[in-house]
Structure 1
Amino acid sequence: MTDANDRVKIVGETTLSDGWTRLSDFEIDYTDQRGETQRLKREIYHRGEAAAILLHDPERDTVVLVKQFRLPAHLLGDPSWMIEVPAGLLDSDQPEEAIRREALEETGYKLRDVRFLFRVYMSPGAITERVHFFYAPISQSDKTEEGGGLAEEHEDIEVLEVMVSDAMAMIERGEICDAKTIMLLQWLQLNRGSLG
Structure 2
Amino acid sequence: MSERAPIRIRSVEILSDDWALLTKTTFDYRRRDGTWETQVRQAYDRGDGAVILPYDPGRGTVLLARQFRLPAYVNGHPGHLVEACAGLLDGDDPESCIRREAEEELGCRLSDVRRVFEVFMSPGSVTERLVFFVARYAPVDRVAQGGGMACEGEDIEVLELALDDALAMIATGGIIDGKTIMLLQHVKLAGLMKV
TM range (shorter): over 0.9
Give 1:4 deviation, angstroms. 4.2
| Matches for 1:1-196 after TM superposition, within 5 Å | 4-5=3-4, 7-192=6-191, 196=195
**Residues 6 and 51 (structure 1), Cα distance of their counterparts in 2 relative to 1, 3 Å cut:** closer
Segments of 5+ residues of structure 1 without an aligned counterpart are: none
Give 1:47 deviation, angstroms. 2.3
**Residues 193 and 63 (structure 1), Cα distance of their counterparts in 2 relative to 1, 3 Å cut:** closer
Give 1:136 deviation, angstroms. 0.2
Letter in 2 for 1:187: H
SS in 2 for 1:56: strand
CA contact (8 A) 2:47 2:88 kept: yes
Give the structure-1-normalised TM-score: 0.96
Deviates more, 1:71-80 or 1:114-123: 71-80
**Residues 147 and 136 (structure 1), Cα distance of their counterparts in 2 relative to 1, 3 Å cut:** same
Segments of 5+ residues of structure 2 without an aligned counterpart are: none
CA contact (8 A) 2:57 2:193 kept: no
CA offsets 1:119-165 (integer angstroms, 9 cap, x no match): 00001111101000000000000011111001110110000000111
Counterpart CA distance in 2 for 1:39 and 1:157 is 44
CA contact (8 A) 2:187 2:193 kept: no
Letter in 2 for 1:92: G
CA contact (8 A) 2:19 2:46 kept: no
CA offsets 1:7-36 (integer angstroms, 9 cap, x no match): 111111000011110100000110011111
CA contact (8 A) 2:104 2:148 kept: yes
Counterpart CA distance in 2 for 1:80 and 1:62 is 25
Letter in 1 for 2:18: G
Counterpart CA distance in 2 for 1:140 and 1:21 is 37
Structure 1 outlier segments of 4+, above 4 Å:
none
Give the structure-2-normalised TM-score: 0.96
Letter in 2 for 1:47: R
Percent identity of equivalent pairs: 47
> How many residues are aligned here?
194
Counterpart CA distance in 2 for 1:83 and 1:103 is 15
Letter in 1 for 2:119: V
**Residues 193 and 89 (structure 1), Cα distance of their counterparts in 2 relative to 1, 3 Å cut:** closer
Give 1:6 deviation, angstroms. 5.8
Counterpart CA distance in 2 for 1:86 and 1:139 is 16
SS in 2 for 1:186: helix
